[in-house]
Structure 1
Amino acid sequence: MVVVQYLRSVVFIGLMYLSMAALAVVFAPLAVADRKFAHAGIRAWTRLVRWLAHRVVGLASEVRGPVPTGEVLVAAKHQSFFDIIILLSVLPNPRFVMKKELERAPILGWYARRIGCVSVDRGQKGRAIRAMVEAVHRERGDPGQLVIYPQGTRVAPGTLAPYKVGTGVLYQELGAPCVPVACNVGVFWARHSLYRRPGRAVVEFLPEIPPGMELRAFMTQLEAEVETASNRLIGRAAFDGPELR
């Protein structure tokens, strides 16, 4: 069974990237003219990937909690590429804080820039935070959901990694609510593996944190809520089957 699942995983990955290329070409002329078509193309592809994951490898995906629609900071747990895909499939006007290297990625880089994603040179630390804040303010003419990963990178389930202060700085600069997001996606879609495990990957939007909190108190609350909820989802992963409720 493991060999069969591995082969299904390889087929799924091939279909995922072939469909990315095909839809990118289809939507590109419209996306050049209007940013909303870049969002439409991304949404079409991410929803297709979720469907393919369910049908090809038995990996269903579920979104819990109210999906934010206004101008908010979304502070999300990041375990694999699949949690990005799920967020992009449901958020109406998302843009991400992403590492600068992704700007050079074929297809992904161009579409990321087109929807207003903010690139950060993680090696510059303090200067990177200032540049990130400036870039975010430049994009505020198009209100939406700004997604940031507080730990700064993908973190495998069960691994401890510090929450970086840049999330708190953005929270204070924007003066907007923050919606924490938990997930268990890394249980099924590991960072350095082609194998996709069947089951139910869950991304959960938690109750929003209102604006105006002191920085340290905000960071403490954010980490506690995201880690507690993610650990709960990870603990349930072995019991949740692949069928959506």
Structure 2
Amino acid sequence: MLAAIRSMLFLLIFYGGSTPIIILSFIVAVFSESGTHFMAKVWSGYHYFCARFILGIRVEVKGEIRNEPLLYVFKHESMFETIDLLRLFDKPVVIAKKELLVIPLWGWIAKRHGLLGIDRNGGGAAMRQIIKQAKGAVADGRPIVIFAEGSRARHGERPELQTGFAGIYKLMGLPLVPVALNSGIVSPRDTFIQKSGVITYAVQDEIEPGLEREDIRHRVHTAINVLND
């Protein structure tokens, strides 16, 4: 019952407070790209503040998250990490489903920040466009982030990686850093009720570019699931 009350309070305060932040972010984004990045950190920081002091959720990072041109592949168990990564990184470029870009106001701001919407049914042309945009971001020294499972998994589940992930790895030619996490324990996908506890990000060893598709798929799949054991 206490967790449900806390979760309702979190929804009211976080989403209520997000509305003026997003409106201000839109105004800032019209005039300044760097301002858009700053406001993204403000929003993510506000999210973590609410999670920390309303829900009792803390974050622990094991390993180093580097703001360099690297391809980061995250385990995906909750909405929590999709917002929190804006706080963990400096100007990350996130590759996600294109449907997110049609969210009123937020979608435009996200695109301005650097979110790359991929059409999963768009074939090679869609992939080439994403790679072109991603390489432009890498030239600016920005990290690339992808949730290779495609959608949230329950904690303990090990869904296969999306087929496009290996293509992005191959065409980008970047070192890859897998990140395991266990957010599904405190913030499960099937309910709005969130529990207090610690979310761990376990940054795994960097993987060199140039591996074959099956090799990279196996290594990343194993690495992002180490906290599911």
Tell me the TM-score normalised to structure 2 length: 0.91
Tell me by how many angstroms 1:194 deviates: 1.3
2:134 pairs with one of 133, 136, 139: 136
Moved more, 67-76 or 14-23: 14-23
CA contact (8 A) 1:83 1:203 kept: no
The answer on 1:186 being equivalent to 2:178 is no
- For 1:33 and 1:210, the matched residues in 2 are separated by 38
- 1:81 and 2:79 correspond: yes
Question: Deviation digits for residues 161-180 of structure 1, max 9, x if unmatched?
Answer: 11123222111212111111
* Residue correspondences, number: 229
2:107 to 88, 105, 109: 109
Partner of 1:123: 121
Check conservation: 1:157, 1:184, Cα contact below 8 A.
Answer: yes
Q: Any idea what SS the aligned residue of 1:87 has? A: helix
1:41 to 39, 42, 45: 39
Deviation string for 1:27-49 (max 9, x for gaps)? 33332222121111111111121
Instruction: Tell me the residue number matched to 1:204.
Output: 202
Equivalent position of 2:55 in the other structure: 57
The structural deviation recorded for 1:139 is 4.1
Aligned ranges 1:91-110 → 2 under 5 Å = 91-110=89-108
Distance 2:108 2:36 in 1: 10
Q: Distance in 2 between matches of 1:130 and 1:175?
A: 14
Is the contact between residue 19 and residue 45 of structure 1 (CA under 8 Å) also seen in structure 2?
no
Q: Which residue of 1 aligns with 2:20?
A: 22
Which of 164, 172, 188 is residue 174 of structure 1 equivalent to? 172
Q: RMSD of the alignment, in Å?
A: 1.8
CA distance in 1, matches of 2:159, 2:203: 21
Shift of 1:77: 0.4
Which shows bigger deviation, 159-168 or 93-102? Answer: 159-168
Give 2:159's aligned residue: 161
* Alignment-mate amino acid for residue 231 of structure 1: N
Displacement of 1:205 in angstroms is 1.8
How far off its partner does 1:140 sit?
A: 4.2
Secondary structure of the 2:111 match is helix
- Distance in 1 between residues matched to 2:227 and 2:109, nearest whole Å: 29
- CA offsets 1:63-96 (integer angstroms, 9 cap, x no match): 2210121101111101111011221111112011
Structure 1 letter corresponding to 2:227: S
Cα pair 2:25 2:109 within 8 Å, conserved: no
Q: Give the 3-state SS of the residue equivalent to 1:123 in structure 2.
A: coil
2:196 is equivalent to residue 223 of structure 1: no
Partner Cα distance (1:111, 1:74) in 2: 22
Q: For 1:62 and 1:86, locate their aligned partners in 2 and report how far apart those are by CA, in whole Å.
A: 12
Percent identical among aligned pairs is 27
Deviation, 1:187, is 1.1
Q: Which amino acid aligns with 1:191?
A: R
- Name the TM-score, length of structure 1 as normaliser: 0.86
Unaligned 5+ residue runs, structure 2?
none
